[in-house]
Amino acid sequence: MASEVEQWRKEVVAQACGGPSRPNKEESTQDLQDKIANSYTLVRVIDNCMASSPLSMSCSLLTCESNDSLPLVDDVHVVRVDILVDPIDDRIDSSRKVDLCPPSVEAIVLNESTLSCENCVDPRICKNCPPLEYVCDVLYRTQDEQFMRRRDELKKEVKTMLSNRNMKQLEQLEIIDNLHRLGLCYHFEDEIYSILNNLSGKTSKRDHLYAKALEFRLLRQHGFNISQEIFGGFFGNIGLSEIQYSEDTKGMLYLYEASFLAIEGEKELELTRNWTEKHLREYLENNSNMDQNLAELVHHALELPLHWRMLRLETKWFINFYKKRQDMIPFLFELASLDFNIVQAAHVEDLKYVARWWKETCLAENLPFARDRLVENFFWTIGVNFHPEYGYFRRIATKVNALVTTIDDVYDVFGTLDELQIFTDAIQSWNIDKLDKLPDNMKMCYFALDNFINQVAADAFEEQGIFILPYLRNAWSDLCKSYLREAKWYCSRYIPTMEEYIDNAWISISAPVILVHAYFLVANPVNKEALHYLEDNYHDIIRRSALILRLANDLGTSSEELKRGDVPKSIQCYMNKTNASEEEARQHIRVLISQTWTKLNEAHDVAAHPFPKIFVTCAMNLARMAQCMYQHGDGHGGNNSTTKNRIMALLFKSIPPAYKCSSANML
């Protein structure tokens, strides 16, 4: 088996390097298809072999620029994304611009090894969190310009539909809702704003719950001022209203979803949320003749409300759901499928770029105690801003995330307290003279960070003429000071009060440093008033997004991190203060998350703060990404199968399109 694996590996490398690839003319198409199917089986064999033996950590890329470099079956290029034992260096031109078209023929190979304490060059603690291994098969045809042309045609059809003055307002709202959930809103922002602006400020004449709830949710999530009074008599006395609409399951579902956009003081919406949740659960438990599509929506909402979901994952899920609906609009489904694949291709280009950067830093090989989580770090950025035109944001944000993960592990598992104090002092002063007493790998970490933020600052100065270096340095200094404080707590076995913990932990979760970078990456022009809230006194938008990230992280990671040896989290701090059980403490944290979301919802009012809408969206999406990443445990640091499946779904598994033509089709 070892020789067979080695031979197959060599064949893949040869193909990637432009070696012999086309089938023998005498070889039938069926023979070739059988051979390819066998190679797919071998991919899984290789995956299993590697899982049993540690490999050297690396993240490499293969790019086949020629259409002749991979086997063809009916003009379909077979592109394998596999784990290879040896890295293939420097196959990608880092200067290559982001292309919104799907690549003609490309294979991205992520070589991320299993990691054990025996691999560590230093006998200090190791987090022992092996990177995930991704193996997938992707099929592309080569005529990708056809995708772009077809998408433009479909966008025109949607715009024509939205401009139809004979369409009823409820129908318009339903289309906008579908566009949002299908991930298409960014193409039609002007048209959507025009429709919603026409509705805003008018007295709603809709007399059924579903329509009112849909109108409320869409207006509020798009930043329009709308009061909960729109529901009027629907609230009343909840107990007395049961008979009135207890059978309106669709209305209850949409009211439940709308309640998650409540702001502080809207007690009726908060009470309604509990009531509708109770009845929706009863609907699933007691109704044997239920509408299956409606039941699927209800189950989906109860698992996690729409307002808290990662947008890109919701898009993938809803596209598959939408095609089953009887009221499905074919050209809308086709556009959603096509757009998903085009955006996915742009994301893969971004991932290739950061993979090359990560390898060039040499941090993974020189800091083997740290988590090698490049793909997961990139996954976060898709959640924060998936729009294809923000490729530069995703690339820089991935670097931020990778450096945060590495420095976090320096503080958590590697540095002694004295070394961490020196490292923190160096970050605060940005003075290399303080590094003399540190191990070489900690020096390397410092220089990687310093080089990175100087480059980001230089880019910003060149593009906008603003000097942002002090803001970036301040954010990283705050982060490292919070890490040091936690290290001191751990070394002294100190259990902080809940207040002490939260006061430090919303910074140590890294959201401020992420969002400070995000502001300068998406805001153009920069607002001078906003700069005040990025230096000395972080704005509530940043604080609230950070708190949700911290609390969601605690729910998903606290048990495992305590086993590995870490500072007590919010759950343990609350238990220590109140003598509550772990489940009671977890429920308290869930309540805090819900309350913080209610406060964060106030950010929809862009007139109340100096930040642009795109930045507010990024801050909210970071909170949504936290709900996604820690929904089923530690989706970032641990070997979490849910995270792996989600990454595969968004990056490596395209959607079969509804449209077919003779010259272009993605399978």
pLDDT of residue 47: 34
pLDDT surpasses 80 at 77: no
List C-alpha distances in Å: 614 to 305, 381, 625: 22, 14, 16
Average pLDDT for 67-78: 32
Give dist(CA 206, CA 230) in Å, integer: 10
User: Residue 138 is inside which H or E element, if any?
Assistant: strand 136-140
For residue 237, being part of any structural domain is answered with yes
For residue 103, being part of any structural domain is answered with no
Predicted TM-score (pTM) of this structure:
0.80
Q: What is the band of 286 on the pLDDT scale with cuts at 50, 70, 90?
A: confident
Residue 441 near residue 392 (C-beta atoms within 8 A): no
Q: Give the up-direction half-sphere exposure of residue 238: CA atoms within 13 A in the CB hemisphere.
A: 14
pLDDT surpasses 60 at 423: yes
Lowest mean pLDDT among 285-299, 311-325, 442-456: 285-299
Range of the domain at 193: 148-335
pLDDT of residue 558: 57
pLDDT surpasses 70 at 136: no
Residue 40 near residue 137 (C-beta atoms within 8 A): yes
Long-range contacts (CB closer than 8 Å, 24 or more residues apart) made by 494-500: 495/568, 495/572, 495/573, 495/576, 496/568, 496/573, 497/573, 497/577, 498/570, 498/573, 498/574, 498/577, 500/573
For residue 196, being part of any structural domain is answered with yes
For residue 313, being part of any structural domain is answered with yes
Both tokens assigned to 658: 């509804």
Other Cβ atoms less than 10 A from the Cβ of 428: the count is 17
Residue 419 near residue 442 (C-beta atoms within 8 A): yes
Average pLDDT for 208-218: 93
Both tokens assigned to 27: 């070889």
Strand partners, 590: none
Q: How far apart are the first and last CA of the chain?
A: 32
For residue 25, being part of any structural domain is answered with no
**What CATH number does residue 188 fall under?**
1.50.10.130
Among residues 281, 314, 335, which one ends one of the domains?
A: 335
List C-alpha distances in Å: 45 to 10, 33, 38, 40, 83: 15, 19, 11, 9, 11
Average pLDDT for 416-431: 96
pLDDT of residue 177: 98
Q: In what order do the strands lie in the sheet with 76-81?
A: 72-73, 76-81, 136-140
Maximum mean pLDDT: which of 189-203, 410-424, 633-647: 410-424
Positive or negative, the CA dihedral 237, 263, 379, 403 is negative
Q: What is the band of 309 on the pLDDT scale with cuts at 50, 70, 90?
A: very high
* Per-residue pLDDT tens digits for 461-493: 999 999 999 999 999 999 999 999 999 999 999
Strand partners, 78: 139
Residue 535 near residue 471 (C-beta atoms within 8 A): yes
For residue 349, being part of any structural domain is answered with no
Average pLDDT for 402-430: 95
Residue 332 near residue 340 (C-beta atoms within 8 A): no
Other Cβ atoms less than 10 A from the Cβ of 192: the count is 21
Bridge pairing between strands 72-73 and 76-81? antiparallel
Both tokens assigned to 480: 């490292």
Positive or negative, the CA dihedral 625, 631, 636, 640 is negative
pLDDT surpasses 60 at 498: yes
Among residues 308, 335, 362, which one ends one of the domains?
A: 335
Average pLDDT for 126-146: 50
For residue 123, being part of any structural domain is answered with no
Q: For the chain, give the mean pLDDT.
A: 79
Both tokens assigned to 353: 């770029």
Lowest mean pLDDT among 31-45, 263-277, 305-319, 555-569: 31-45
Burial of 660 by CB count in 10 Å (0-12 exposed, 13-18 middle, 19+ buried)? exposed
For residue 305, being part of any structural domain is answered with yes
Average pLDDT for 173-198: 97
Q: Give the up-direction half-sphere exposure of residue 155: CA atoms within 13 A in the CB hemisphere.
A: 16
Q: What is the band of 233 on the pLDDT scale with cuts at 50, 70, 90?
A: low
Report the percentage of the chain scoring pLDDT > 90. Answer: 60
DSSP letters, 200-221, are TTSPP---SHHHHHHHHHHHHH
223: alpha, beta or left? (left if phi > 0; alpha if psi -120 to 50): left
Maximum mean pLDDT: which of 125-134, 197-206, 382-391: 382-391
Q: What is the band of 71 on the pLDDT scale with cuts at 50, 70, 90?
A: very low
Bigger pLDDT: 341 vs 145: 341
Dihedral, CA of residue 507, residue 508, residue 510 and residue 513, to nearest 10: 50
pLDDT surpasses 60 at 65: no
pLDDT surpasses 50 at 666: no
pLDDT of residue 638: 59
Q: What is the band of 232 on the pLDDT scale with cuts at 50, 70, 90?
A: confident
Average pLDDT for 105-127: 37
Domain count, the chain: 2
* Per-residue pLDDT tens digits for 561-597: 556 657 889 999 999 999 999 999 999 999 999 999 9
Average pLDDT for 269-293: 88
* Per-residue pLDDT tens digits for 251-262: 999 999 999 999
pLDDT surpasses 60 at 83: no
**What CATH number does residue 510 fall under?**
1.10.600.10
Report the percentage of the chain scoring pLDDT > 70. Answer: 71
* Per-residue pLDDT tens digits for 310-322: 999 999 999 999 9
Q: Assign 139 to helix, strand or coil.
A: strand
pLDDT of residue 160: 96
Nearest by Cα to 533 from 603, 595, 463, 464: 603
Residue 133 near residue 112 (C-beta atoms within 8 A): yes
Among residues 335, 362, 378, which one ends one of the domains?
A: 335
* Per-residue pLDDT tens digits for 149-167: 999 999 999 999 999 989 9
* Per-residue pLDDT tens digits for 364-388: 999 998 888 899 999 999 999 999 9
Lowest mean pLDDT among 83-97, 414-428, 468-482: 83-97
Q: What is the band of 607 on the pLDDT scale with cuts at 50, 70, 90?
A: confident
